[in-house]
A and B are shown apart, each in its own frame.
Chain A
Amino acid sequence: MGSDARVAKSAQPFLRVRSLTKRYVRGGVLQKRIHVDAVRGIDLEIPACKTLALVGSSGSGKSTVARCVTRLERPDAGEIWVGGTDIAGLANRALLTFRAAIQMICQDAVTSMNPRFSAAETVEEPLLIQRRGAAKQCRQSALEIMSEVGVSADWANRSVMEFSGGQRQRLAIARALVLQPKLLVLDEALSGLDLSTEAEIINLLLDVQAAHSLTYLFISHDLPLMARLADTIAVMCNGTIVEQGPKSQLLSNPSHPETKSLLLPAKIFQKKYAEMLGVSG
């Protein structure tokens, strides 16, 4: 009975997106207005504590989905269910509680950090903005999270510009965790890192997900990479999802040409590698 309940709970989708649509308008007063659909009719679901990877080539609209889910933009149509609430149409004031629950980590974290701030100031900022306690407490919580993600306490007062790429991503993760979110949206968070750093960050993300019971929405163009992290994969092309399903199914049996082309680099690499080693692919 208890295990059934647990299963039922973990099967309950944490994030559910239905028919999400976002348009952009080009032109203004003097030019003809052209409406461009960035994303159209997006449906996806992520069960609690699971990872969904949204992959596609650039321009496919995946970043727009990320921005809508985190309500940096307001969708033109559709529903975004977080827990039991549809946040798609909520006004800014009502969104405040959700802003803590959903956090985003971007590609180059550095541009989203004020170069004049120190590492500790950057990580504690969300706590200060949301007034989660006195300044001292906020600083303390920030330092704890920083040590959890592997940033040494000695570096707490250094400017964020002095950190390496991988360290900055760790800071970004720390900053995202500090408000105790439930959903993390990672928009190309692993791009631009060298392979060893990438591996480190992936491990960190997996540890953190387990430790804090987080749900992940991963945005990427690198399908093979996502294969290691995701439970479900959705493939986007030209603003819509063309194929979606569990990872194993997509990888072994891709049906849509877009999925196949995204898998291609890995397959080619595998083949060449196999050739080099004289092993059958």
Chain B
Amino acid sequence: MRINTLVLLLALAILHLLVIFAGFIAPYGPSVQNRELPYAPPTRVHFVDTSGFHLRPFVYSQTLTLDSYKEDRTREYPLHLFARGETYTIVGIFRSNIHLFQVAEPPRIFLFGADGYGRDEFSRLLYGGQISLAAGILATLLSLAAGTIIGTISGYYGKWVDESLMGSAELFLSLPWFYFLIAVRAFLPLHLSPVETFLLLICVIGLIGWARPARLVRGVVLSARSRNFVSAARGFGASDLYLLRRHIFPETFGVLLTQAALLVPQYVAAEATLSFFGLGVSEPEPSWGNMLSTLQQYNVLVSYAWLLTPAAALVITSVIYWLLADALHSRLKSHSI
């Protein structure tokens, strides 16, 4: 599958921008509850009514009657673009209260339906994406950093340093990863503030995964170290640090990039799984994982299909990253001599 790397990068950029601008795109905040609208289905957006076609879409108010939802067609509520709503911040710096679309009270516009507390699934999906994607990316950076340092030391200095480091890498690789993750999580305090939990998750997921990047980096460093241009530079009196910085490190970029593309979706899935089990990000902060955990209840799983949207988000993220990794991998192979 040789999908253009540029297309994939574009898709990735769009995905991340959507999530970064969650405050703007989402009509509501992530914790806003509407107890009178539990498990509301997705609001239908209409363009046609009895008087014909309208350019500006509108919605009807949904109310819960007995055990199903019915639209109240007595009044139309048009959609307003770039309207004012609740205040939010983008990346914690920019404040605003202009949202992409809003609907005048009292009806709610639930593009992807609502959960048991009447919280807008669409908004939570975007806000949850911030946490899930950030966790994946930061954990990846941590893994790569740890792996690069260890792999470089191992590959450059060789001999017993190499043997012991790679031996422990093998140890980490031969552990059943998920058991290990849970075990480490078990030994750390269960109930922490959301920020602490988030940082903890990143550290645990990222540091456990140092072994594979370390092995790959070590391989590159090992072969680069014996290249003639390294000996030549050493012949000119170059220090170890210079050799590593100027000659050996650049060789690792390709490998690191491909590894990054492979690890991010894995770590996003790891965060999702941990949160799903209640070991990760906990309520009320949304994450794609903990949003899915309500599906462990039989009736929810059966009746409310729209609550599966975080799963779709996970799939989309994973597929794009994975295709990117594939494309990068073939590029790397064709470029190397």
Contact = CB atoms under 8 A, between A and B. Distances in A.
A111 B235 contact: no
A274 interface: no
B229 A113 contact: yes
A245 interface: no
9 contacts: A72-B231, A100-B237, A104-B235, A106-B228, A114-B229, A115-B337, A129-B233, A129-B238, A129-B242
B232 A113 contact: yes
Interface of B: 227-229, 231-233, 235-238, 242, 247, 250, 337
Nearest to B230: A114
Nearest to B235: A72
Contact of B233 (A72, A104, A106, A125): A125
B229 A112 contact: yes
Given A115-B337, A116-B250, A129-B242, A99 B232 contact: no
Contacts of B235: 70, 72, 99, 104
Given A100-B236, A106-B228, 15 more contacts: A95-B237, A96-B237, A100-B237, A104-B235, A111-B228, A112-B232, A113-B232, A114-B229, A114-B247, A126-B236, A129-B233, A129-B237, A129-B238, A129-B242, A179-B236
Interface string A103-135: 010100001111110000000011001100000
A126 B238 CA distance: 8
Contact of A129 (B227, B229, B236, B250): B236
B239 to A, nearest CB: 8
A111 B247 CA distance: 13
Given A125-B233, A129-B233, A112 B228 contact: yes
Interface in A62-89: 70, 72
Nearest to A104: B235
Contacts of A130: 236-237
Contacts of B233: 125, 129
Which 3 pairs of residues, A with B, have the shortest CB-CB distance? A112-B232, A111-B228, A126-B236
Contact of B227 (A95, A99, A111, A126): A111
